[in-house]
C-alpha cells in the first residue's frame, strides 16, 4: 500500500475506477483500488471519494492531488499509517461505506 505518514496525518495514494455498480475499496497487491459509483463529471467522483473515505476512516479526508486523474493522493487528517492499514483491511467486510 502506498501510505506516507506526515505530521498532519497520512497520505494515501489510490486508483479510482468510476461508474461502478457499488462503492468499494480493495487492496490489489501494493495498490489501493477505489470503485466509485459516480461518473467523472463536475467533481462528482471526488466528492463521493472524500465523503465515503471520511466515513470509513472516521476523520476528515482531503484531496491533495489528482483532481482530474484516476490516480489520486488523499490526506487522511490526524490518522496514523497503522490506523489506515487496519481500516483498509476491514473495508471489504463493511457494507455501509
Contact 12, 32 (CB under 8 A): yes
* Phi, psi of 39, rounded to the nearest 5 degrees: -95, 150
pTM comes to: 0.90
What Cα–Cα distance (Å) separates residue 13 from each residue in 7, 27, 38? 17, 11, 19
The class that CATH gives domain 3-93 is: alpha beta
Among candidates 54, 44, 58, 56, which has minimal Cα distance to 16?
44
The tens-digit pLDDT sequence of the chain (97 residues) is 799 999 999 999 999 999 999 999 999 989 999 999 999 999 999 999 999 999 999 999 999 999 999 999 999 999 999 999 999 888 766 555 5
Amino acid at each position: 500500500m502506498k501510505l506516507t505518514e506526515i505530521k498532519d496525518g497520512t497520505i494515501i495514494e489510490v486508483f479510482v475506477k468510476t461508474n461502478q455498480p457499488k462503492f468499494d475499496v480493495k487492496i490489489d497487491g501494493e495498490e489501493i483500488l477505489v470503485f466509485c459509483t459516480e461518473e467523472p463529471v463536475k467533481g462528482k467522483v471526488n466528492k463521493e471519494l472524500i465523503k465515503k473515505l471520511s466515513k470509513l476512516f472516521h476523520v476528515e479526508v482531503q484531496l491533495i492531488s489528482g483532481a482530474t486523474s484516476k490516480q489520486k493522493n488523499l490526506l487522511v487528517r490526524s490518522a496514523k499509517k497503522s490506523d489506515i492499514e487496519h481500516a483498509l483491511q476491514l473495508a471489504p467486510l463493511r457494507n455501509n461505506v
